Structure 1
C-alpha cells in the first residue's frame, strides 16, 4: 500500500484529490451555514435607526469570518500535502495550496510529477468555495440594500406630512 502511495496512478491521484475536495466543500458548507446563521441573528436586531458603524462592523465581522473559513480550508489541504512529504515544509505546502486554491498558479513550488493532478483539484475546490462565498456576499449586500431603501423612505417621509401607511 505504501508503494502505491509513493507511485500512484492517475486514478489514485484523482480519488485522493476528490476525497479531499469533498471534505473541503463539506467544511465550507458547514462554515457558511454557521456564518449565515450568526449574520441573520445579528441582522434581526438591526433597524432603520441602527447606527451605520454597527452595520459596518457586522459586515466587517462577516467578511472576516468568511476569510478565516477559506484560510482554514487551505490549511486542511496543506496538512496532508506536508505530512505525506509531497512538499516537506509546511510553509511551502501552504504557499503551494494558496496559489492553487486561488487559481493563481504562478509559484515556484510544485508537487512531485506523480501527484501533480492534486493541484488542479485544489483549484477546483477554490472555485467552488469562492463561488459559494460570493453568492453569500450577494445575499448579505441585498439585505443592506433593503435597509438602505427603508432608511431612504423613512427620511423622505419624515420631510413630509404623509406617512407610509397613508399612501
Structure 2
C-alpha cells in the first residue's frame, strides 16, 4: 500500500452504503426466517403458552441466535473495512464496526477518513436492524403470554 492518499468519491461511498443496506436487509430477513424455522415459531403448538422453563429456554435460545445474527452483520462490515484498508487489523475493524452498529460511536485513531460516512451510516443500519429484531422477539413474547 502506498503513502499517497486516495480520495473516495462521495458517490462511491453512497453506492457502497446503498449496497450495504440491501445486503443487511437480505441477511437480516434470511436470519430471522432461519431463526423462526429452527425454533418452530411458525407452529403455535411449539410456543409455550405460559412463562416457565420451556419459555425461558426458547427465549434464551432466541436471544443467542439473534446475537449471532447481529455479530455476523457486524463481521460483514468489518470485512469491508479491512478489504478497503480503512483499518489495519481485523480486531480494530470488528471493534469499530461493533461500535458503529451499536450506535456507541467510538472511532479508532487510525481509521481511514475516506470511509467514515459508511461508519456513520452503519449506526443507522444497526439501529434499524436491532429494532427489527426487538419487534420480532416481542411478537414471540406476545404469543407466549396470550
Note whether the superposition's TM-score is higher than 0.5: yes
Q: Residue 47 and residue 74 in structure 1: after superposition, are their counterparts in 2 closer, same or farther (change >3 A)? A: closer
Q: Residue 38 and residue 88 in structure 1: after superposition, are their counterparts in 2 closer, same or farther (change >3 A)? A: same
Q: Which moved more, 1:16-25 or 1:69-78?
A: 16-25
Contact (CA 8 Å) 1:66, 1:133: kept in 2 or not?
Answer: yes
Structure 2 residue aligned with 1:45: 46
Unaligned runs of 5+ in 1: 1-5, 147-167
Contact (CA 8 Å) 2:100, 2:119: kept in 1 or not?
Answer: yes
Task: Please tell me the root mean square deviation across aligned C-alpha atoms, in Å.
Answer: 2.0
Within-5 A mapping of 1:72-111: 72-109=72-109, 111=111
Contact (CA 8 Å) 1:78, 1:93: kept in 2 or not?
Answer: yes
Structure 2 residue aligned with 1:135: 135
In the alignment, does 2:114 pair up with 1:114? yes
| TM-score normalised over the length of structure 1 | 0.75
| TM-score normalised over the length of structure 2 | 0.85
Within-5 A mapping of 1:48-67: 52-67=52-67
Larger radius of gyration: 1
Contact (CA 8 Å) 1:24, 1:76: kept in 2 or not?
Answer: no
The CA distance in 1 between the partners of 2:28 and 2:72, in whole Å, is: 9
Give structure 1 regions of 4+ aligned residues with deviation exceeding 6 angstroms.
none
